[in-house]
Amino acid sequence: MVAAGRSPALSPSRAGDFRQCPYMYRLRVVDKIPEPPSAAATLGTLVHSVLEHLYDRPAAERTEDTATAMLEPEWRVMLDKKPELADLHDSPAAEATWLEDGRTRLRTYFTMENPQRLEPAGREEFVQFALPDGPLLRGFIDRVDVAPDGSIRIVDYKTGKTPLPQYGHKEKFQMKFYALLVERLRGRRPALLQLLFLKDGGTLVLRPTDQDLDLVEHEIRELWDEIIAAASTGRFRTKKSKLCGWCNFQDICPEFGGTAPDIDPDAVERALGVRPVALEESAGN
Protein backbone atom coordinates (compact mmCIF):
# COMPACT_ATOMS: atom_id res chain seq x y z
CA MET A 1 0.00 0.00 0.00
CA VAL A 2 1.03 3.64 -0.45
CA ALA A 3 2.15 5.26 2.77
CA ALA A 4 -0.11 8.06 4.00
CA GLY A 5 1.18 11.58 3.59
CA ARG A 6 3.87 10.72 1.07
CA SER A 7 4.11 12.05 -2.47
CA PRO A 8 5.61 9.55 -4.92
CA ALA A 9 7.34 11.43 -7.72
CA LEU A 10 8.57 10.76 -11.23
CA SER A 11 10.85 12.78 -13.49
CA PRO A 12 11.77 12.06 -17.12
CA SER A 13 15.31 11.01 -16.16
CA ARG A 14 14.12 8.58 -13.49
CA ALA A 15 11.51 7.21 -15.88
CA GLY A 16 14.33 6.58 -18.34
CA ASP A 17 16.34 4.83 -15.62
CA PHE A 18 13.52 2.41 -14.85
CA ARG A 19 12.96 1.66 -18.51
CA GLN A 20 16.66 1.01 -19.03
CA CYS A 21 17.08 -1.16 -15.93
CA PRO A 22 14.77 -1.37 -12.90
CA TYR A 23 17.73 -2.48 -10.76
CA MET A 24 19.71 0.65 -11.72
CA TYR A 25 16.63 2.72 -10.87
CA ARG A 26 16.51 1.08 -7.44
CA LEU A 27 20.19 1.79 -6.73
CA ARG A 28 19.73 5.45 -7.63
CA VAL A 29 16.31 6.16 -6.18
CA VAL A 30 15.97 3.77 -3.24
CA ASP A 31 19.54 2.99 -2.14
CA LYS A 32 20.88 6.38 -3.27
CA ILE A 33 24.33 4.94 -3.94
CA PRO A 34 26.76 7.73 -4.85
CA GLU A 35 28.14 7.76 -8.37
CA PRO A 36 31.33 9.41 -9.54
CA PRO A 37 30.78 12.48 -11.73
CA SER A 38 31.39 12.05 -15.44
CA ALA A 39 33.16 14.54 -17.66
CA ALA A 40 30.37 14.43 -20.26
CA ALA A 41 27.53 15.02 -17.79
CA THR A 42 29.47 17.75 -16.00
CA LEU A 43 30.17 19.50 -19.31
CA GLY A 44 26.45 19.38 -20.03
CA THR A 45 25.68 20.99 -16.66
CA LEU A 46 28.29 23.68 -17.29
CA VAL A 47 27.01 24.57 -20.77
CA HIS A 48 23.43 24.65 -19.48
CA SER A 49 24.50 27.03 -16.71
CA VAL A 50 26.12 29.41 -19.20
CA LEU A 51 23.04 29.41 -21.45
CA GLU A 52 20.78 30.01 -18.45
CA HIS A 53 22.81 32.95 -17.14
CA LEU A 54 23.44 34.40 -20.60
CA TYR A 55 19.84 35.63 -20.50
CA ASP A 56 20.58 37.62 -17.36
CA ARG A 57 22.54 39.95 -19.63
CA PRO A 58 20.97 42.76 -21.66
CA ALA A 59 20.06 41.59 -25.15
CA ALA A 60 22.94 43.49 -26.80
CA GLU A 61 25.46 41.61 -24.65
CA ARG A 62 24.20 38.13 -25.51
CA THR A 63 26.94 37.43 -27.99
CA GLU A 64 29.08 34.42 -28.79
CA ASP A 65 32.11 36.13 -27.26
CA THR A 66 30.18 36.83 -24.05
CA ALA A 67 28.99 33.23 -23.78
CA THR A 68 32.40 31.65 -24.39
CA ALA A 69 34.00 34.08 -21.93
CA MET A 70 31.46 33.02 -19.29
CA LEU A 71 32.38 29.35 -19.48
CA GLU A 72 35.54 29.24 -17.39
CA PRO A 73 34.20 31.53 -14.59
CA GLU A 74 31.08 29.33 -14.41
CA TRP A 75 33.37 26.30 -14.12
CA ARG A 76 35.24 27.90 -11.22
CA VAL A 77 31.92 28.50 -9.46
CA MET A 78 31.06 24.83 -9.91
CA LEU A 79 34.45 23.82 -8.50
CA ASP A 80 33.96 26.04 -5.46
CA LYS A 81 30.67 24.27 -4.75
CA LYS A 82 31.97 20.77 -5.55
CA PRO A 83 35.77 20.58 -5.25
CA GLU A 84 35.68 16.87 -6.09
CA LEU A 85 34.95 17.81 -9.72
CA ALA A 86 38.62 18.73 -10.05
CA ASP A 87 39.32 14.97 -10.19
CA LEU A 88 37.66 14.79 -13.60
CA HIS A 89 40.89 15.96 -15.22
CA ASP A 90 44.34 14.52 -14.68
CA SER A 91 46.19 17.61 -15.92
CA PRO A 92 45.66 21.31 -16.69
CA ALA A 93 45.96 20.45 -20.38
CA ALA A 94 43.11 17.93 -20.13
CA GLU A 95 40.97 20.51 -18.35
CA ALA A 96 41.74 23.09 -21.02
CA THR A 97 40.74 20.68 -23.80
CA TRP A 98 37.51 19.87 -21.96
CA LEU A 99 36.68 23.56 -21.55
CA GLU A 100 37.32 24.15 -25.23
CA ASP A 101 34.80 21.39 -25.99
CA GLY A 102 32.30 23.44 -23.99
CA ARG A 103 33.13 26.60 -25.93
CA THR A 104 32.66 24.70 -29.19
CA ARG A 105 29.15 23.70 -28.11
CA LEU A 106 28.35 27.29 -27.22
CA ARG A 107 29.56 28.45 -30.63
CA THR A 108 27.30 25.83 -32.21
CA TYR A 109 24.38 27.23 -30.23
CA PHE A 110 24.87 30.61 -31.86
CA THR A 111 24.50 29.02 -35.30
CA MET A 112 21.07 27.75 -34.22
CA GLU A 113 19.51 30.69 -32.39
CA ASN A 114 20.02 34.39 -31.87
CA PRO A 115 19.57 34.98 -28.13
CA GLN A 116 19.50 38.74 -28.69
CA ARG A 117 16.02 38.29 -30.17
CA LEU A 118 14.65 36.11 -27.36
CA GLU A 119 13.20 36.94 -23.96
CA PRO A 120 12.43 33.63 -22.26
CA ALA A 121 9.45 33.39 -19.94
CA GLY A 122 11.25 30.73 -17.92
CA ARG A 123 14.78 29.33 -17.58
CA GLU A 124 15.64 26.17 -15.67
CA GLU A 125 12.00 26.31 -14.64
CA PHE A 126 11.00 23.82 -11.95
CA VAL A 127 7.62 22.29 -12.73
CA GLN A 128 5.54 19.75 -10.84
CA PHE A 129 1.99 18.50 -11.01
CA ALA A 130 0.24 15.57 -9.35
CA LEU A 131 -1.76 13.45 -11.77
CA PRO A 132 -5.19 12.60 -10.34
CA ASP A 133 -4.84 9.18 -8.69
CA GLY A 134 -1.27 9.09 -10.00
CA PRO A 135 2.25 10.16 -9.18
CA LEU A 136 3.64 13.62 -8.68
CA LEU A 137 5.41 14.60 -11.90
CA ARG A 138 8.33 17.00 -11.73
CA GLY A 139 11.35 18.27 -13.60
CA PHE A 140 13.34 21.25 -14.78
CA ILE A 141 12.68 22.76 -18.21
CA ASP A 142 15.69 24.42 -19.81
CA ARG A 143 13.68 27.22 -21.39
CA VAL A 144 10.06 28.27 -21.86
CA ASP A 145 9.25 30.89 -24.50
CA VAL A 146 5.85 32.57 -24.74
CA ALA A 147 4.89 34.44 -27.92
CA PRO A 148 2.80 37.64 -27.90
CA ASP A 149 -0.27 35.58 -28.84
CA GLY A 150 0.32 33.28 -25.85
CA SER A 151 1.75 30.36 -27.84
CA ILE A 152 4.23 28.34 -25.79
CA ARG A 153 7.51 26.82 -26.92
CA ILE A 154 9.58 24.46 -24.76
CA VAL A 155 13.30 24.35 -25.56
CA ASP A 156 15.79 21.78 -24.29
CA TYR A 157 19.56 21.90 -24.81
CA LYS A 158 21.41 18.65 -25.42
CA THR A 159 25.21 18.69 -25.44
CA GLY A 160 25.36 15.37 -27.28
CA LYS A 161 24.75 14.64 -30.94
CA THR A 162 21.45 14.31 -32.76
CA PRO A 163 20.03 10.77 -32.45
CA LEU A 164 19.43 8.74 -35.56
CA PRO A 165 15.81 8.72 -36.79
CA GLN A 166 15.18 5.23 -35.43
CA TYR A 167 16.25 6.36 -31.97
CA GLY A 168 15.41 9.39 -29.88
CA HIS A 169 12.43 7.91 -28.02
CA LYS A 170 13.90 8.97 -24.69
CA GLU A 171 14.24 12.58 -25.79
CA LYS A 172 10.75 12.68 -27.32
CA PHE A 173 9.25 11.17 -24.17
CA GLN A 174 11.01 13.80 -22.04
CA MET A 175 9.64 16.68 -24.12
CA LYS A 176 6.09 15.31 -24.20
CA PHE A 177 6.35 14.72 -20.43
CA TYR A 178 7.18 18.41 -20.00
CA ALA A 179 4.46 19.42 -22.45
CA LEU A 180 1.91 17.55 -20.36
CA LEU A 181 3.13 19.31 -17.22
CA VAL A 182 3.03 22.74 -18.85
CA GLU A 183 -0.45 22.15 -20.24
CA ARG A 184 -1.76 21.16 -16.81
CA LEU A 185 -0.04 24.08 -15.06
CA ARG A 186 -0.65 26.84 -17.62
CA GLY A 187 -3.91 25.61 -19.11
CA ARG A 188 -2.53 25.66 -22.65
CA ARG A 189 -0.85 22.97 -24.70
CA PRO A 190 2.62 23.99 -25.91
CA ALA A 191 2.61 24.59 -29.65
CA LEU A 192 6.23 23.59 -30.16
CA LEU A 193 8.80 21.35 -28.50
CA GLN A 194 12.36 21.94 -29.66
CA LEU A 195 15.54 20.02 -28.81
CA LEU A 196 18.85 21.65 -29.76
CA PHE A 197 21.78 19.21 -30.07
CA LEU A 198 24.89 21.30 -29.52
CA LYS A 199 27.50 18.75 -30.54
CA ASP A 200 26.47 18.69 -34.20
CA GLY A 201 23.91 21.48 -34.54
CA GLY A 202 20.94 19.18 -35.12
CA THR A 203 17.40 20.10 -34.15
CA LEU A 204 14.43 17.91 -33.28
CA VAL A 205 11.05 19.64 -33.46
CA LEU A 206 7.77 18.22 -32.16
CA ARG A 207 4.31 19.75 -32.45
CA PRO A 208 2.33 17.89 -29.80
CA THR A 209 -1.33 17.09 -30.30
CA ASP A 210 -3.98 16.35 -27.71
CA GLN A 211 -3.59 12.69 -28.62
CA ASP A 212 0.18 12.88 -28.01
CA LEU A 213 -0.38 14.17 -24.48
CA ASP A 214 -3.11 11.61 -23.79
CA LEU A 215 -0.72 8.87 -24.88
CA VAL A 216 2.20 10.14 -22.82
CA GLU A 217 -0.05 10.36 -19.76
CA HIS A 218 -1.10 6.75 -20.35
CA GLU A 219 2.57 5.78 -20.76
CA ILE A 220 3.51 7.55 -17.51
CA ARG A 221 0.70 5.85 -15.59
CA GLU A 222 1.66 2.41 -16.90
CA LEU A 223 5.30 3.00 -16.03
CA TRP A 224 4.42 4.20 -12.54
CA ASP A 225 2.29 1.10 -11.99
CA GLU A 226 5.34 -1.01 -12.85
CA ILE A 227 7.50 0.98 -10.42
CA ILE A 228 4.96 0.60 -7.62
CA ALA A 229 4.64 -3.12 -8.35
CA ALA A 230 8.42 -3.51 -8.03
CA ALA A 231 8.45 -1.44 -4.84
CA SER A 232 5.64 -3.43 -3.28
CA THR A 233 7.64 -6.65 -3.63
CA GLY A 234 11.10 -5.13 -3.22
CA ARG A 235 12.19 -6.85 -6.41
CA PHE A 236 13.73 -4.58 -9.05
CA ARG A 237 14.91 -6.85 -11.86
CA THR A 238 18.14 -6.39 -13.78
CA LYS A 239 17.92 -5.70 -17.50
CA LYS A 240 21.14 -6.35 -19.39
CA SER A 241 21.77 -4.30 -22.52
CA LYS A 242 24.54 -2.57 -24.46
CA LEU A 243 24.03 0.42 -22.14
CA CYS A 244 25.51 -1.60 -19.28
CA GLY A 245 28.94 -0.51 -20.48
CA TRP A 246 28.23 2.99 -19.14
CA CYS A 247 26.77 1.85 -15.80
CA ASN A 248 28.57 2.69 -12.55
CA PHE A 249 27.06 -0.26 -10.66
CA GLN A 250 28.59 -3.29 -12.39
CA ASP A 251 30.51 -4.31 -9.26
CA ILE A 252 27.23 -4.83 -7.37
CA CYS A 253 25.18 -6.11 -10.31
CA PRO A 254 24.28 -9.81 -10.46
CA GLU A 255 24.54 -9.68 -14.26
CA PHE A 256 28.29 -9.07 -13.85
CA GLY A 257 28.98 -11.39 -10.92
CA GLY A 258 28.32 -8.79 -8.23
CA THR A 259 26.09 -9.14 -5.20
CA ALA A 260 23.10 -6.85 -4.80
CA PRO A 261 22.87 -5.08 -1.44
CA ASP A 262 19.99 -6.13 0.78
CA ILE A 263 17.02 -3.90 0.16
CA ASP A 264 15.85 -1.74 3.06
CA PRO A 265 12.03 -1.59 3.33
CA ASP A 266 12.31 1.77 5.09
CA ALA A 267 14.34 3.15 2.19
CA VAL A 268 11.74 1.92 -0.31
CA GLU A 269 9.01 3.62 1.69
CA ARG A 270 10.96 6.87 1.97
CA ALA A 271 11.68 6.97 -1.75
CA LEU A 272 8.43 5.70 -3.24
CA GLY A 273 5.79 5.85 -0.52
CA VAL A 274 5.32 2.07 -0.66
CA ARG A 275 6.39 -0.47 1.94
CA PRO A 276 7.37 -3.85 0.45
CA VAL A 277 5.10 -5.87 2.72
CA ALA A 278 5.50 -9.05 0.70
CA LEU A 279 9.26 -8.91 1.21
CA GLU A 280 8.88 -8.44 4.97
CA GLU A 281 6.38 -11.29 5.20
CA SER A 282 8.80 -13.56 3.32
CA ALA A 283 11.61 -12.60 5.71
CA GLY A 284 9.33 -13.29 8.68
CA ASN A 285 8.61 -16.77 7.48
Give the model's pLDDT for residue 9.
Answer: 85
Give the model's pLDDT for residue 3.
Answer: 41
Give the model's pLDDT for residue 166.
Answer: 73
> pTM here?
0.90
Give the model's pLDDT for residue 280.
Answer: 53
CATH of 122-217, one of 3.20.20.120, 3.90.1720.10, 3.90.320.10, 3.40.50.2300: 3.90.320.10
CATH 3.90.320.10 in the chain: give the residue spans. Answer: 122-217
Give the model's pLDDT for residue 281.
Answer: 52
Residue 23 has, within 13 A of its CA and on its CB side, a CA count of 20
- pLDDT, tens digit (0-9, with 9 covering 90-100), for 229-254: 999 999 999 999 999 999 999 999 99
Q: Which of 250, 251, 252 is nearest to 263 (CA)?
A: 252
Give the model's pLDDT for residue 142.
Answer: 97
195 touches 203 (CB < 8 A): yes
Give the model's pLDDT for residue 165.
Answer: 77
- pLDDT, tens digit (0-9, with 9 covering 90-100), for 183-203: 999 999 999 999 999 999 999
Helix axes of 12-20 and 169-186: crossing angle, nearest 10 degrees? 150
CA distances from 278 to 229, 233, 274 (A): 11, 5, 11
Give the model's pLDDT for residue 7.
Answer: 67
Alpha helices in the chain (DSSP H): 12-20, 22-29, 39-54, 64-81, 92-112, 169-186, 210-233, 265-272, 277-284
Q: How far is CA 176 from the centre of its chain?
A: 13
Regions of the chain short of the pLDDT cut 70: 1-7, 278-285
